[in-house]
Amino acid sequence: MTHVIKGQTLSFGDTCTDIRYEERGAIVIADDGTIVWSGPQPLLPHAFRQHAVEDFGMQLIMPGFIDAHIHFPQYRMLAAPGKDLLDWLTRFTFPEESRYADAPYATAAADKFLNRLFEHGTTSALAFCSVHKSCADALFAAAEARNMALVTGKTMMDRNAIPAVQDGPETGARDTAELHARWHGKGRLRYAVTPRFAITSSEAQLKLSGELLQSLDGALMQTHLSESPGEIAFVKTLFPDAQDYTDVYDRFGLLGSRSLFAHGIHLSERECERLSESGSTVVHCPTSNTFLGSGLMSMPHLRKAQRPVNLGVATDIGGGTSYSMLATLGEAYKVQMLGGYKPSAYELFHMATRGNAARLRIAHETGSIDTGKFADLIVLDPWATPVLASRQDVSNSLEDMLFSLMILGDDRAIRATYVAGRKVHQRISSEA
């Protein structure tokens, strides 16, 4: 049924300075889950005035958050106390991911995982699965049932792990091609070729990954790059002929406009130049980077005007410590402040919505409030907690409201979540 939701509405165009805001806005959502009209309430066309209305008053309706890097099979292992990245992977992560060989386990976990994303206001994601085909099948099926724009893929990893989470170059490539054929383009689903990182993929596997990226129609590529000093040193020993970490991927044709690299903390000028000219994206994962002690990623370094690298932002669950993109933006702010750069709230909210949509190549269908796009929306409650409520007493602008939400907010500030026009989450209790 066509319905109307009302509230403050905010979304962005291509840049964070292109702000579309209505203090008393309305959005009309059609049966098929798309937006058919949005604008100021007084201009709501007569044709839509007889439809059911949900009025959120002064609450803030925005596009749902898009998480550009998250690990589904790590959904319950947050806060695993590793010494550093490699220790954390070996002692906690690989054993946990081995459970996803079991299809019923993966299916039950996929439901919990996606519902948790919705509770935190995330409506789309680029996600890693485990190495097991059953894991990717489970997540794709759960996302399809929710009519969600999800990009994911089976992780490929053929060395330096434990046998229970390893494949081989040929089996990994065959499974990838089969999963792409089964799921890519079905509903709102997309496939991402997913070599875990240079440490766990042999040259043969990276070569096949590059070939898959070229041959699989419309597929993205996701991996990790330049996260921790120990990781970078290990990569050097594995690929002594490569110029640097980025060059390892570059040699196998893995850079490009469909490629997303998580972290990118310790990149040289040369690496940034290659990432920039190839149109690749680096995804900032601040809560993971501080939790694992990996380092402080610098947005201004990556975005230097003469060789700007595309940036995304993400939780990196379970290295990351919060599902909330609000909390993630708050931590991104703090990490950048430690590097001497003060991002604006508009810049960060843009990254988490329209910006990440562009990076995932789904901006034609989600990430903003525009006619023809799916109604993937959240209702943010700036008064959700006592602390937020009293903070709003001294808030003097829209940007300040957003700023307070990202510094003080989390899942408690997500009043409701809509995916393709359907309400998939509504917060019951308010603490205010």
Residues in touch with ligand GUN (CB under 6 A): 71, 85, 89, 93, 196-197, 224, 227, 288, 316, 319
Asked if residue 316 binds Zn ion (CB under 5 A), the reply is yes
Assign 3-class secondary structure to 289-302.
HHHCCCCCCCHHHH
Nearer to ligand GUN, 61 or 70 (CB): 70
Least distance in angstroms from the C-beta of 199 to ligand GUN: 7
Which one of Zn ion, ligand GUN, none is in contact with 139 (Cβ closer than 5 to 8 A by kind)?
none
**Binding span for Zn ion by CB under 5 A among 56-64, 242-250, 255-263, 384-392:** 255-263
244 versus 316: smaller Cβ distance to Zn ion: 316
Ranges of H-type helices in 279-425: 286-291, 299-302, 325-338, 345-350, 356-359, 386-393, 398-408
Q: Which does 197 bind (CB under 5 to 8 A by kind): Zn ion, ligand GUN, none?
A: ligand GUN
- Closest distance of CB 221 from ligand GUN, Å: 15
* Distance between CA atoms of residues 223 and 320, nearest Å: 16
Q: Residue with the closest Cβ to ligand GUN?
A: 319
Q: Specify the residue, 9 or 289, whose C-beta has the smaller distance to ligand GUN.
A: 289
Crossing angle of helices 398-408 and 386-393, rounded to 10°: 160
Q: Which does 196 bind (CB under 5 to 8 A by kind): Zn ion, ligand GUN, none?
A: ligand GUN
Q: Which listed option, ligand GUN, Zn ion, none, makes contact with residue 85 (CB within 5 to 8 Å by class)?
A: ligand GUN
Largest CA distance in the chain: 68
Nearest to 260 by CA among 179, 354, 192: 192
Contact status: 262 vs Zn ion (CB under 5 A): yes
Write b or e for each residue in 227-263: b if 16 or more Cβ atoms lie within 10 A of its Cβ, otherwise e: bbeebbebbeeebeebebbbbbbbbbbbbbebbbbbb
- Minimum distance, C-beta of residue 316 to ligand GUN, in the bound complex (Å): 5
DSSP 8-state code for residue 201: S
The answer to whether residues 194 and 129 touch, using CB atoms and an 8 Å cutoff, is yes
The residue among 316 and 381 lying less far from ligand GUN, judged by its C-beta, is 316
The span from the CA of 373 to the CA of 13, in Å, is 13
Q: For ligand GUN, which is the closer residue by CB, 188 or 196?
A: 196
Q: Which residues bind Zn ion (CB under 5 A)?
A: 262, 316
